[in-house]
């Protein structure tokens, strides 16, 4: 190592620079949207906003406060996240426990497991699922966003594996004290599995908040759009034009472009709930991935 | 007495399974039955039980169509690009990040690079369109080097590359987490021994770090191969337009457009069935492969 110290120093400098550069590449595009939302419409139309707000103004955010449809969609998504989270967690935890039993303790255990795994491997596809939701009369209702994804099978297996890793003696002690399966589950296993349940909760919350596809196919009334479908519907017109080769400059005559900073502000506000839980997401990221890679 | 207790326990177990099972049957298994519409001239008004059976008509129609081959080729090309470049970037980034010894910087960079993974493509598509439009930031930078503006979103030759690149951008940080965990699990003694033998940093990466990560790399690669027919609906739907269909249209967007928007339900279901079947075969073979390569199972 003696003669290579200058070499290793140069190497380190290069590595630090590459890592910083990758960090910047991830950050700057997102920061650009924040800057656009804080710039005046004129500056946005002139396409002069880079990584600092130009003619900084909060007018876009002030406009959002009065935008009823935005808050309606925001509320629909918040409600959906709450219901889906409770439903997912209850169903997953309830199902995971019996599946930790052995085949002799719970005849039918392997049959149920087979049903779950097959449903994970194979599905009916988009069209039959749409037809089912339509037939059930759920179109345009918040339940169309919640019920089809109420049982995340992958999470059942994850929680089941976590339960299996909890020392049997804890459970046996409770059983000797006369506890039934529900008591064991709620008072022994669930408290031990808090990090695991936190992880699947975060998956559920992020997934529901970010999902725009269910809203796209199941909700036909724009006033019932969840937040991401609403934002997507805002993006559509202007993006269509940009993609077909129009430049921001030629678009500046279009009235919609003046909304560009407004739309950017809407995007920023729609992402704020995720940023609020982001510290927790990071905390449970490793747990989630490690658990996810330990399969049955 | 004991038997009675056991039966009681089992009954409780069945009851605990019941709520989830109801959702499983309704929302997973009933749509599977619904697949028979792929073999019918399905008319929603007549329903699944009164529509006329037409056998393999839609499958024959599908295979005769140029569309499907183009869409299939696009799907596989984009998915493979994402898998290979994405895996490479995640591995490379984890190796580099592991070298960072300033804690604050390491944490800070991690916080930033994991973030895009948690954002919806709806949000990121706006970011991408902004940056890559004809007079967006990227083209302004290219312009300052005297390169003519590229129509990233409207040029069929560039579009799939943009899709791969932006997906790698979104996911490399998050995907690096598992590789970083694998690196830290490697015995530091191996590095020391290699260093004593005179191996430089790069040599140690090639001969110690990467072999140590290999089981995880193989496992992740086998798992990602199962996604080869899903090139990412959310991303492509939010970025594509008719001018780039020839290279950018993938199975999921095709089924959505033709089947749902175009209301060709039977045809859409047929394409969907083909996709599910191939996906099933891939998943089962990936599982076999993983078991052979490592001791782990995917499911």
Which CATH number does B57-293 carry? 1.10.3720.10
Identify the DSSP state of B295: S
Identify the DSSP state of B52: E
Quote the minimal CA–CA distance from A69 to chain B in Å.
18
Of A12, A271, A282, the CB nearest to B99: A12
Query: Which ranges in chain B are annotated with CATH 1.10.3720.10?
Result: 57-293
Q: Which residues pair with A64 in a beta bridge?
A: none
In this predicted structure, what is the pLDDT of residue A243? 58
Of B201, B239, B240, the CB nearest to A11: B201
Q: Which residues pair with B52 in a beta bridge?
A: B41
Please write the tens of the pLDDT for every residue from B58-111: 899 888 888 889 999 999 999 999 999 999 999 999 999 999 989 999 999 999
Show the low-confidence residues of chain A (pLDDT under 70).
Answer: 1-5, 236-258, 286-296
**What domains appear along chain A, each with residue ranges and CATH number?**
63-296 (1.10.3720.10)
Please write the tens of the pLDDT for every residue from A140-150: 999 999 999 99
The interface pTM score, or ipTM, of the predicted complex is 0.88
Any chain A CB within 8 A of the CB of B64? no
Any chain A CB within 8 A of the CB of B243? yes
Q: What is the DSSP string of B235-291?
A: HHHHH--GGGHHHH--HHHHIIIIIIIS--HHHHHHHHHHHHHHHHHHHHHHHHHHH
- Which residues have C-beta within 8 Å of that of residue A133, sequence separation ≥ 6? A139, A144, A148, A218
Alpha-carbon distances of A281 from A275, B36, B53, B76, rounded to whole Å: 9, 41, 50, 31
Please write the tens of the pLDDT for every residue from A233-276: 887 665 566 555 556 555 544 445 568 889 999 999 999 999 99
Asked if B108's CB is within 8 angstroms of A23's CB, the reply is: yes
Q: Which residues pair with B41 in a beta bridge?
A: B52
- Residues of B numbered 124-183 whose beta carbons fall under 8 angstroms of chain A's beta carbons: which are they? 125-131, 133-137, 151, 153-154, 169, 172-174, 177-178, 181
pTM: 0.89
B-chain residue closest to A202, CA distance: B118
Asked if A180's CB is within 8 angstroms of B12's CB, the reply is: yes
- C-alpha A277/C-alpha A198 separation (Å) is 12
- C-alpha B97/C-alpha B107 separation (Å) is 10
Classify burial at B70, counting beta carbons within 10 Å of its beta carbon; exposed 0-12, middle 13-18, buried 19 or more.
middle
B33 neighbourhood in chain A, CB within 8 Å? 124, 128
Asked if B239's CB is within 8 angstroms of A112's CB, the reply is: no
Evaluate whether A76 touches A143 at the Cβ level (below 8 Å).
no
Identify the DSSP state of B149: P
Q: What is the DSSP string of A94-111?
A: HHHHHHTS-TTTSTTHHH
């Amino acid at each position: 190592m003696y003669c290579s110290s200058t070499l290793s120093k140069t190497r380190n400098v290069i590595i630090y620079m590459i890592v910083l550069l990758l960090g910047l590449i991830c950050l700057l595009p997102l920061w650009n949207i924040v800057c656009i939302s804080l710039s005046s419409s004129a500056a946005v139309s002139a396409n002069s906003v880079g990584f600092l707000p130009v003619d900084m103004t909060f007018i876009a955010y002030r406009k959002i406060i009065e935008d009823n449809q935005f808050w309606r969609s925001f509320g629909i998504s918040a409600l959906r996240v709450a219901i889906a989270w409770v439903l997912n967690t209850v169903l997953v935890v309830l199902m995971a426990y019996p599946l930790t039993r052995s085949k002799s303790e719970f005849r039918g255990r392997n049959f149920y497991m087979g049903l779950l795994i097959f449903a994970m491997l194979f599905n009916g596809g988009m069209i039959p699922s749409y037809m089912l939701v339509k037939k059930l009369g759920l179109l345009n209702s918040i339940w169309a966003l919640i019920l089809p994804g109420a049982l995340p099978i992958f999470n059942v297996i994850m929680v089941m594996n976590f339960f299996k890793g909890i020392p049997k003696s804890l459970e046996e002690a409770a059983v000797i004290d006369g506890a039934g399966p529900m008591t064991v589950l709620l008072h022994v296993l669930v408290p031990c599995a808090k990090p695991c349940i936190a992880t699947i909760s975060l998956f559920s919350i992020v997934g529901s908040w970010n999902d725009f596809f269910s809203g796209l196919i199941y909700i036909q009334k724009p006033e019932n759009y969840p937040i991401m479908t609403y934002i997507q519907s805002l993006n559509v017109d202007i993006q269509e034009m940009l993609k077909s080769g129009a430049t921001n400059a030629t678009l500046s005559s279009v009235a919609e472009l003046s909304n560009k900073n407004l739309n950017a502000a809407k995007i920023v506000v729609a992402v704020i709930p995720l940023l609020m839980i982001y510290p927790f997401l990071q905390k449970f990221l490793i747990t989630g991935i490690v658990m996810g890679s330990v399969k049955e | 007495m004991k038997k009675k207790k056991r039966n009681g326990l089992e009954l409780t177990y069945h009851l605990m399974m019941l709520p989830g099972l109801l959702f499983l049957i309704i929302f997973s298994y009933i749509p599977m039955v619904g697949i028979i519409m792929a073999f019918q001239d399905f008319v929603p008004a007549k329903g699944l039980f009164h529509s006329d059976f037409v056998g393999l008509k839609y499958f024959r129609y599908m295979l005769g169509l140029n569309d499907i081959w183009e869409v299939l080729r696009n799907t596989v090309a984009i998915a493979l690009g994402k898998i290979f470049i994405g895996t490479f970037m995640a591995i490379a980034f984890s190796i580099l990040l592991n070298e960072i010894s300033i804690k604050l910087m390491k944490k800070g960079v991690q916080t930033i690079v994991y973030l895009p993974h948690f954002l919806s493509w709806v949000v990121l598509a706006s970011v991408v369109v902004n940056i890559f439009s004809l007079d967006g930031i990227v083209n302004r930078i290219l312009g300052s080097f005297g390169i003519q503006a590229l129509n990233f979103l409207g040029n069929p030759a560039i579009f799939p590359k943009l899709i791969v690149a932006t997906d790698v951008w979104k996911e490399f940080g998050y995907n690096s987490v598992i590789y970083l965990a694998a690196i830290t699990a490697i015995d530091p003694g191996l590095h020391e021994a290699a260093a004593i033998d005179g191996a430089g940093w790069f040599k140690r990466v090639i001969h110690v770090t990467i072999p140590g990560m290999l089981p995880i790399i193989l496992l992740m690669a086998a798992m990602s191969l199962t996604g080869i027919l899903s090139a990412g609906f959310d991303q492509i739907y939010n970025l594509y337009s008719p001018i780039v269909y020839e290279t950018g249209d993938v199975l999921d967007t095709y089924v959505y457009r033709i089947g749902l928007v175009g209301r060709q339900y039977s045809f859409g279901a047929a394409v969907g069935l083909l996709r599910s079947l191939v996906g099933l075969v891939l998943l089962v073979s990936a599982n076999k492969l993983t078991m052979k390569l490592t001791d782990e199972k995917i499911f």
